[in-house]
Amino acid sequence: MQNGHKVKDDILNQVDDFVYLGGTISTNHLCDNDMVRRVGLAADIAWNVDKLWKAKDISKETKIMIYTTMVLHWTLVITQ
């Protein structure tokens, strides 16, 4: 089995998974790794709005608007 391909002076090694255009491409042709990655990204976005929820100077309506535009939007985009 070949370890890699040579391009100019660099050796490109074969990998099992890589991200291309936001999606995980896998050698096993399954979407499991892609879905786990995308759900993790969505969870990370939701986790990072913790400061927003704790902010006393932002109204509940504004917090909900920010949540729906940022978190839900990115959750849908990431899981497509």
36-40 contacts, C-beta under 8 A, 24 or more apart:
38/78, 38/79, 39/78, 39/79
Q: What is the mean pLDDT of residues 19-26?
A: 79
Q: What is the pLDDT of residues 25-69, one digit of tens each?
A: 888 877 777 778 777 877 777 777 788 888 899 999 998 888 788
All structural domains of the chain with their residue ranges:
4-78
For residue 25 the two structure tokens come to 């491409």
Cβ-proximal residues to 24 (8 Å cutoff; 6+ apart), any chain: 17, 18, 31, 33, 34, 37
Q: Are strands 23-26 and 4-7 parallel, antiparallel or unpaired?
A: unpaired
Which pTM was predicted?
A: 0.48
Q: Which residue in the block uniquely carries the two structure tokens 């932002």? A: 58
The predicted pLDDT at position 1 comes to: 40
